[in-house]
């Protein structure tokens, strides 16, 4: 049985670096693609006035979107605030009515 056991290093491991432990199969998410903001030739020819117009347009669009979000969130916050205000008013009323019983 000893004649079947190969005591010499295997040919497979000779001269090759040992394999590192396998990394888990977790793939890191790819970084978000960033749009190319370098101006095109036509934008360079049009000059700053066109870029200012585009910036103003983007700014106006952002303001409109912020206004829409505000309008959507306003009723939610108002209802939460009303509930909180009722609780605070109730606590203040109790404190005021029983303040004579409190000793400092």
pLDDT tens digits, 61-98: 999 999 999 999 998 888 888 888 889 999 988 888 88
Rounded to 5 degrees, φ, ψ at 94 are -65, -40
**In the numeric block, which tokens belong to residue 7?**
């005591």
Cβ burial of 46 (10 Å; 0-12, 13-18, 19+) is middle
The answer to whether residue 74 sits within a structural domain is yes
The answer to whether residue 35 sits within a structural domain is no
How many other CB atoms sit within 10 Å of the CB of residue 43?
Answer: 13
The answer to whether residue 15 sits within a structural domain is no
The answer to whether residue 93 sits within a structural domain is yes
Q: Give the predicted TM-score (pTM) of the model.
A: 0.36
Question: Is the separation of the CB atoms in 43 and 51 below 8 Å?
Answer: yes
**In the numeric block, which tokens belong to residue 95?**
């404190």
Rounded Cα distance, 42 and 101, in Å: 80
Range of the domain at 87: 63-98
pLDDT tens per residue across span 15-70: 555 656 555 565 666 666 655 566 666 655 666 788 888 899 999 999 999 999 99
DSSP state of 2: G
The answer to whether residue 8 sits within a structural domain is no
Question: Is the separation of the CB atoms in 57 and 50 below 8 Å?
Answer: no
The answer to whether residue 104 sits within a structural domain is no
Find, among 65, 62, 40, 61, the residue nearest to 51 by Cα. Answer: 40
- Total domains present in the chain: 1
């Amino acid at each position: 049985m000893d004649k079947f056991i190969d005591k010499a290093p295997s040919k497979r491991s000779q001269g090759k670096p040992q394999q590192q432990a396998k990394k888990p199969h977790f793939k890191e998410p790819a970084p978000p693609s960033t749009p190319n903001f370098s101006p095109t030739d036509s934008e360079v020819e049009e000059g700053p006035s066109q870029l200012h117009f585009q910036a103003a347009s983007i700014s106006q669009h952002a303001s409109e979107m912020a206004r829409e979000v505000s309008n959507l969130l306003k009723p939610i916050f108002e209802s939460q605030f009303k509930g909180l205000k009722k609780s605070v008013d109730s606590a203040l009323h109790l404190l005021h009515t029983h303040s004579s019983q409190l000793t400092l």
